[in-house]
Every structure is written in C-alpha cells, then in structure tokens.
Amino acid sequence: MIWKENRENAYCEITPAILSLKEQWEKKNFIDPRLYKEYNVKRGLRNEDGRGVLTGLTRVAEIQSYNVYMDAADREHIAPSDGILYYRGIDCREIVKGSAKRGRFAFEEAAYLLLFGELPTKEQLQDFCVQLASYRTLPTNFFRDVILKNPPQDLMNTMQRAILTLFCYDDKPNDIGLENVLRQCLQLMSNMPVLAIYAYQAWRYSQGESLFIHVPLPELSTAENFLRMLREDRSYTELEARTLDVALVLHADHGGGNNSTFTNHVVTSSGTDTYSAIAAAMASLKGPRHGGANSKVMAMMSDIKTHVRDWADEDCVTDYLTRILNKEAFDGSGLIYGLGHAVYTKTDPRCEVFRDYVTRLAHEKHRERELALYNSVETIGKQLLMERQHKSVLSTNIDFYSGFVYEMLGLPMELYTPLFAVARISGWSAHRMEELSAGGKLIRPRYECVEEHRSYVPMERR
C-alpha cells in the first residue's frame, strides 16, 4: 500500500476485497424496522409525538414551541405556539433588542449570560471582553505547523485537528477542575473565530489563491474581528458587523438536546478533557443533518434561480416547488430545505429576529430582487407543505435566510458551518461546566440486542 502526496493512491481505493466485505456485512446487519415499534424504541431519542426524550436538566437554555393541555378524559394534547428561545430564562430576542438600543454588540453579552447565569454589568462585560481578547492568540508557529500544512477539504476537520493539538500546548490539559475548565473554555471561545478564518485562508492557499493573514484586534468584537480577518482589505460596514453579531447571538445555544450539545454532555460525562469534548461537539456539528442546513438552502435557491423563468410570477414558483416536492427537480429528496423544524411548530424565533436584518442588508447590497424570491419561496413553499402534510402551521427555519445573509456578507460557503461553531462554543462551554458540576453520572443509554443466541462453531465445521 503506497501513500502518495497527491492523495491519488491505493490507500483510499475501494478494492474488490472491500466490496466483498461490505456484502458480507450486509448479510448479517439488517434490522427489521418493525422491531423498533415492537420494543418501543425512541428512535432519535424522540417520543412518537416528536418531542425529545427527557434525559437531563439544565439551566442554560430552553426552547418553547408548544403548549400541553389535558382534555376531559385526562388525555394529553399538544397545541402549537409561537417559538421562544430563552438564554438563562431571558428571551434571546430581548438580548438582541437591548444591545441594539445601546449601540453595542450582543454576542459577548450573550456568552457571559450563558456561562455565568446573569447579564453582566458594564464593568463585568468590559472585563470579560478584555479577558477574551487576551486569550485571542495562538502558540508561536501554530498556524504554520498545524493549520497551513496539509489542510483537508473540510474546514471543520482542520479546526478539530487544531483544537486537539492545542491539548499539547496546555500544561494542565486533563485537569477537569471547574476553574481550569473555565480557563480552557474561554481560551477556545476566543480562538474559535481565529481557527475558522485561518483554516479558510490555508484552504484558499492550497487551492492556488494568495495567502494573507490578519491578526485580530483586542478592541474589536467577535463579529468585527471575523470580518476583518476574512477580508483582504480588512474593511466592513457597521450594518455588516451588527448583522453577523446577531447571527452569532441566535446560534449561541439551542437547549441541551440539540445533537452537538448532547454530544458534548455525553463526552463530558466520561470525565474526558475539554479539548476532546469540544472536538466531539464539532464532529457532530459538521454533519449535514445538524450544522449544514443553510448550505442546502443555498444550493436549492441557486437551483430555483436557474430553473424558474420569472421570479416574480407566483405560478412559475409554485410549479417548480411542486416539482421539487414530487422529487422531479433539484436533488430528488422531495424536500424544501429551510421550511419546517424538528422542534419549532409555528415560528422559529431566531428567524423572526433575523428578518429585519435580512431586509436591511439586502437593501444595502441591492439584492431586493433575490430577497423577494426568498419571500415567495417561503410563502408558497409553506402553503404547499401544509397542504401535503395536513398541517395548519409550519415554521420557517433560521437556516432558510442565514445562508443568504452570509452570502451578502461575502462569506464563502466553506465558512458557514465553522461560523456556527464560533457561536455555539459559548453554549457548549456552559453545558460542559454544568455537566461537570451537576451531572455526576456517565451517560449510558440502553440498546436492545435483537440477534439470536447461538453456539460457537469450530473452524473445521464452518
């Protein structure tokens, strides 16, 4: 087996032997879907009504998307309601509005709230920002030796590798005392935007583009530094920075049950180190079912722009969306990405907050025509889906508009999921601290084995 530098090598080849082993695997690994119902398995850790199975308690964040009431026969019913996302009991929409009124950026304030349970005073917020700024630096030659060398095609893998490598630069990497874990979490929170941008610049360089690296400035917010480090001329408008800041706030946490945060809880419960726990959460977020939804929306909208003759004609839009739902167009999945949500029923509060910024940014960038198409696809697509699914309400996911916003900000699609991680690490950190202080048990769910018992067969009789 030869490993070649250009990666066109036998090491990655699917050989006849591998195909034969795959066929062997398929013969003995089928599980009849009916067994899941027979054993009352909560697939995806969800009840039959779609609600998540209760597996823990948290004070960090909460999602409300329905009301539960009992009828005269004491039967439980679920009524859809407008969605609310609480950070430490405070509606995240109020956090965005409160900071906007005072002309300051909100992400650092939200991160402080998630970690410490209270809104910071002016002095506490200033000290917190100074603390984050002091940590926003990588070890000497880290970019050259870890990030720039052999960057993989996916930036999330580059960032995971960098996070795990930072373990080697820590004098107390395995110490899970809360003060040490807090120090590690703050350092990773500070460096996550740096890792994301540097990973992207290294990837660009590997594709033959020019390499430029800008260091973050301590006086700037996370959103401002992200745009400054990304752009060759280091420029950005006030509206661009504030829109990105709002996106970071809205993605900072989403309750303890989302896949990456639950992964963080599970891994943390084993007593492992901070770098491993955050890298595991990153691995979960990378999955297209979790962190990559906005990229799917962007691909779908690009396809719609290409195939819909008249964007302003509702009949044209309806016809093509119907073809998508009939699996006759786009990717054949029959899905209109960004419409509907696993948790929210009537509205996704994050999307409702984002709408105003989407409109303002589209006006600044002269993209009103595309915004009108998005609005049309949202309205018509929801109506078509509700008719097919026999629903009276359907929420629009924040992912429906976030990709469009990122595109208007000049963010390449390769950075969409890494940007998600830049925001979500604040929630991951809060949940890791909570699991270490209040969890106390190794998380170990049960799987029912449905294989028949049998006797060992000697080699000569097989």
Residues designated as active site:
341, 399
- Rounded CA separation 260/428 (Å): 8
Q: Per this entry, what is the length of the chain? A: 462
- Rounded CA separation 432/189 (Å): 13
First and final C-alpha spacing in the chain: 31
Across the beta sheet with 61-70, what order do the strands follow?
Answer: 61-70, 76-87, 90-91
- Rounded CA separation 345/81 (Å): 7
For the chain, the 3-state helix, strand and coil shares in percent, each to the nearest 5, are 55, 5, 40
Q: Of 108, 113, 107, which is closest to residue 246 (Cα–Cα)? A: 107
What is the three-class DSSP state of 209? coil
Cβ neighbour number for residue 434 with a 10 Å cutoff: 20
- Rounded CA separation 267/190 (Å): 22
Distances from the Cα of 107 to the Cα of 65, 103, 113, 343, 431, angstroms: 24, 13, 10, 23, 17
- Quick one: angle between helices 399-408 and 293-307, nearest 10? 80
